[in-house]
Amino acid sequence: MKLLPDAVKAFIDGAHVCRIATVREGGTPHIIPVCPAFDGDRVVYVDVAKDGVTARALVSSDRITAIFDEYSDDWSKLKAVILRCRAEQVQGAELEKAWELFRAKYPQGQAIGWEARHTLALRVGGWTEWGLVHPLGYQPE
Amino acid sequence: MKLLPDAVKAFIDGAHVCRIATVREGGTPHIIPVCPAFDGDRVVYVDVAKDGVTARALVSSDRITAIFDEYSDDWSKLKAVILRCRAEQVQGAELEKAWELFRAKYPQGQAIGWEARHTLALRVGGWTEWGLVHPLGYQPE
């Protein structure tokens, strides 16, 4: 995989929301918004409901695609990064590391008792971006 | 299908961006941001690149899922609607109708010569929402 450029890493790191898509058994796509934490290199951590549609979809396929994007009505300012990943439930030391990142980035989680449910490492295997390094105008994929 | 409540319809209608997920041949999910136009009932129109990943994915599966959501760092204010749809390329009178909606909603398209590429009707077959009619807190699917 091409390394992620610094401008793309900064965009991922700064995002408080991204959307992740999975494929349900039977072939229907699913999407949810999640609060991501980035390891600064090539892993995005997210925490999803234990028995939700996303967790169940991952039983039959670990493929997950995340989009980080910012919309503007000025279409010359559109920005997006698409990450094609494999999802893996994290355990042990990596789980601790993920939750250090979550707690630092989302202090509001403490007030509602947000703790690990089904915490995933999204390991990036490929990516596309526009508006950060390369312009694309109004014609995304 | 349960009818969409008025609050959900208004949320969809007001959105200038949503994200749509498809399943590529081979089973990898894909997501892009798009500018939607809503017919006010149960069809969302979007226009995607003719030879992009989304258009190619739809050759092997017409299943598409759209998410309309608003993020807030105050997690009690999270709002989202997930629409499970079948995509159909529109033609004729329906294509004209879709483009009347696009032109009215996105006047900035005129300046860059935005015209029909691969215009899709997303026909809603099922949906989920939170933060509009039902609360969900911080635990989406």
Quick check: is B73 in a domain? yes
Which of the pair, B17 or B112, is modelled with greater confidence? B17
Query: For the domain that residue B115 is a member of, what is the CATH number?
Result: 2.30.110.10
Cβ atoms of residues B125 and B93 within 8 Å: no
Question: Which residues, in sequence order, are bridge partners of residue A38?
Answer: A44
At B87-133, the pLDDT tens digits run 999 999 999 999 999 999 999 999 989 999 999 999 999 999 999 99
Which stretches does DSSP call E strand in chain B? 18-23, 29-34, 37-38, 43-48, 63-70, 79-89, 118-130
Q: How far, in Å, CA of A81 to CA of A127, rounded?
A: 7
pTM: 0.95
Q: What stretches of B25-91 show up as alpha helix (H) in DSSP?
A: 53-60
Quick check: is A136 in a domain? no
Cβ atoms of residues A64 and A50 within 8 Å: no
Of A29, A32, A65, the CB nearest to B140: A32
Instruction: Mutate one of A19, A60, A82 to test the B interface: name it (highest B CB count within 10 A).
Output: A19
Cβ atoms of residues B36 and B115 within 8 Å: no
Q: Which pLDDT value is given to residue B138? A: 45
Q: Which pLDDT value is given to residue A138? A: 45
Cβ contacts (< 8 Å) between A23 and chain B: which residues?
23, 27-29
- Asked if pLDDT for residue B140 goes beyond 50, the answer is no
Domains of chain B: total:
1
Dihedral sign of CA atoms B10, B14, B19, B23 in order: positive
- Asked if pLDDT for residue B137 goes beyond 70, the answer is no
Q: Which residue of B has its CA nearest to A76?
A: B112
Cβ contacts (< 8 Å) between B28 and chain A: which residues?
23, 63, 65, 84
Quick check: is A137 in a domain? no
Provide the domain limits for residue B71.
6-130
What ipTM is given for this predicted complex? Answer: 0.94
Cβ contacts (< 8 Å) between A71 and chain B: which residues?
16-17, 33
SS3 A116: coil
Which residue type sits at A85? C
Quick check: is A115 in a domain? yes
